[in-house]
Amino acid sequence: TDRPKGDPLISTAEEKIKEAAENVKEKLNLNEPIPESTKKFGRQLTGKADDAADEVGKATDTVTGKSRQVVEDIADKSKAAAKESKEAIKSNARDMTNLSKPGYYQTKR
């Protein structure tokens, strides 16, 4: 429902909101200029936070790089082991095939 302009409920609510905002400004000293020492402290904190974020980024890159290398090493070793297994299976298959040939066993001794 639309209320007409000048509605006392709206006017009262607006006034209460303004009073609350002024009360907060006063209690938090928001009407006062920020002291230079506080500004300096804020800049120092920002700088330290930036430095810390940079260090975390570097550490993450290092860990990620090392993890990637470990995974690549495992993959390489797995490929090599799979290749060796495949070669061994082929060799065993050849031997089994040859064993079925007459006279093969005697020639191998």
Q: Is the pLDDT of residue 107 over 60?
A: no
Lowest mean pLDDT among 2-11, 18-27, 57-66, 86-95: 2-11
What is the model's pLDDT at position 20?
92
Q: N- to C-terminal Cα distance for the chain? A: 105
For 47-84, the pLDDT digits (tens) are 888 888 888 888 888 888 888 888 888 998 999 899 88
Global confidence as pTM: 0.38
What is the model's pLDDT at position 19?
92
Q: Is the pLDDT of residue 42 over 60?
A: yes
Cβ-based neighbours of 24, under 8 Å, separated by 6 or more: 30
Q: What is the dihedral of CA 23, 25, 27, 28, to 10 degrees?
A: 160
Q: What percent of the chain has pLDDT over 70?
A: 84
User: Average pLDDT over the chain, rounded to whole?
Assistant: 82
